[in-house]
């Protein structure tokens, strides 16, 4: 693949990541947040489970338990927080907060995995922390805190995958952690939410977009790009996703872009880029 096609696919993939926040914001107006997230990943995980049926699956309960734990953090924690946060903050702000996960990966892996990072990566953490402060100037609410929790949960899931190692195919892991997480989210919705489920063109289209385009297609493209290029350099482009989230929110939902939000988004984007572009971390 030539570099222009590679770059184009990266832009498409990160745009899909950012647009999913906007579609989620539209969806939660018609479907309860946890229920929408649950239905999204039951559908996406179920379809992917059919796709990976011929792949080698885990053969012991411990490995299935690892998939369940990852699903609790990656799907239940991250996606549950995203959809609940969308009730009170904009799609753009939710995307920025969620994609702060590289900052939390650096902090948590330094404490948990005893990884030593370079000065450039710690500078990225500092810039990201400043970005969070600036974002807090524009709006601080329960939704902001929940969005940050989503970013932290994503970081924990990332470190768990690294800690557990390659115990099964990434496609099998993705399918079943989504399916397990979706079932937990759906069950949680039935227990704690006042169920809202309006079935019409907008709600059904939102759900299908999130499940198929925003989950299956997005994951397939992302894993394909990771396999075709250097993972560290490819991951550096994740900083585009929250910027697409802000832009899509502005264009499609008329979400205002406050000066603090714009400055905070730039700082967060810079921090994610610096963290991912820094020299490889060294284990202690």
To which H or E segment does residue 30 belong? none
Residue among 283, 237, 278, 249 at smallest CA distance from 89: 249
Whether residue 217 has pLDDT greater than 60: yes
pLDDT at 207: 95
Whether residue 235 has pLDDT greater than 70: no
Sign of CA pseudo-dihedral 232, 284, 148, 177: positive
Least confident of 63-67, 84-88, 143-147, 211-215: 143-147
Instruction: Give the model confidence (pLDDT) of 50-82 as tens digits.
Output: 999 999 999 899 999 999 999 999 999 999 999
| C-alpha angle 133-81-174 in degrees, rounded to nearest 5 | 120
> According to the per-residue pLDDT averaged within each range, which of 155-159, 161-165, 232-236, 275-279 is highest?
155-159
> According to the per-residue pLDDT averaged within each range, which of 22-31, 92-101, 131-140 is highest?
22-31
d(CA 224, CA 110) in angstroms, rounded, equals 29
Whether residue 124 has pLDDT greater than 90: no
Whether residue 232 has pLDDT greater than 60: no
pTM listed for this prediction:
0.85
pLDDT at 230: 61
| Averaged pLDDT for residues 126-138 | 70
Which residues are CB-neighbours of 186 under 8 A, at least 6 positions away? Answer: 34, 35, 38, 39, 42
Residue among 47, 18, 39 at smallest CA distance from 207: 39
Whether residue 245 has pLDDT greater than 90: no
Domain ranges of the chain: 3-283
Whether residue 228 has pLDDT greater than 80: no
Query: Do the Cβ atoms of 241 and 17 come closer than 8 Å?
Result: yes
| Averaged pLDDT for residues 139-166 | 83
Question: What mean pLDDT is reported for the chain?
Answer: 85
Using 50, 70 and 90 to split pLDDT, how confident is the model at 179?
Answer: very high
Whether residue 276 has pLDDT greater than 70: no
Whether residue 212 has pLDDT greater than 80: yes
| Averaged pLDDT for residues 141-168 | 85
pLDDT cut 70: percent of the chain above it:
90
pLDDT at 200: 93
pLDDT at 99: 81
Using 50, 70 and 90 to split pLDDT, how confident is the model at 284?
Answer: low
| CB neighbourhood size of 56 (10 A) | 9
| C-alpha angle 50-73-17 in degrees, rounded to nearest 5 | 70
Q: Tokens 């770059």 identify what position?
A: 7
Whether residue 282 has pLDDT greater than 70: no
Q: Tokens 């967060």 identify what position?
A: 268
pLDDT at 258: 75
Residue among 97, 129, 122 at smallest CA distance from 274: 122
d(CA 9, CA 6) in angstroms, rounded, equals 5
| Averaged pLDDT for residues 194-198 | 92
What is the DSSP secondary structure assignment for residue 232, as one 8-state letter?
A: H
Which residues are CB-neighbours of 273 under 8 A, at least 6 positions away? Answer: 124, 236, 239
Distance between start and end Cα atoms, the chain: 37
Query: Do the Cβ atoms of 180 and 127 come closer than 8 Å?
Result: no
d(CA 176, CA 218) in angstroms, rounded, equals 16
d(CA 27, CA 7) in angstroms, rounded, equals 30
pLDDT at 70: 93
């Amino acid at each position: 693949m030539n570099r222009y096609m590679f770059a184009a696919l990266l832009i498409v993939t990160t745009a899909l990541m950012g647009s999913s926040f906007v579609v989620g914001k539209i969806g939660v107006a018609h479907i309860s947040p946890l229920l929408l997230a649950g239905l999204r990943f039951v559908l996406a995980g179920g379809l992917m489970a059919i796709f990976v049926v011929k792949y080698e699956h885990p053969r012991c309960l411990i490995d299935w338990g690892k998939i369940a734990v990852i699903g609790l953090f990656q799907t239940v924690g991250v996606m549950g927080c995203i959809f609940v946060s969308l009730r009170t903050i904009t799609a753009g702000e939710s995307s920025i907060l969620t994609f702060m996960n590289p900052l939390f990966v650096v902090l948590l892996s330094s404490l948990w995995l005893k990884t030593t990072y370079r000065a450039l990566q710690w500078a990225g953490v500092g810039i990201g922390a400043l970005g969070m402060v600036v974002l807090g100037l524009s709006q601080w609410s329960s939704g902001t805190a929940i969005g940050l929790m989503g970013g932290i949960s994503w970081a924990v899931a990332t470190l768990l995958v690294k800690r557990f190692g390659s115990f099964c195919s990434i496609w099998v892991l993705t399918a079943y952690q989504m399916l397990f997480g979706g079932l937990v989210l759906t069950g949680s919705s039935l227990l704690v939410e006042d169920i809202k489920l309006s079935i019409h063109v907008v709600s059904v289209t939102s759900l299908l977009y999130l499940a198929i385009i925003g989950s299956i297609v997005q994951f397939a493209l992302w894993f394909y790009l990771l396999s075709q290029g250097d993972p560290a350099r490819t991951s550096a482009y994740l900083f585009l996703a929250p910027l697409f989230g802000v832009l899509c929110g502005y264009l499609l939902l008329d979400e205002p872009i406050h000066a603090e939000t714009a400055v905070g988004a730039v700082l967060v984007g810079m921090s994610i880029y610096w963290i991912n572009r820094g020299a490889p971390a060294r284990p202690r």
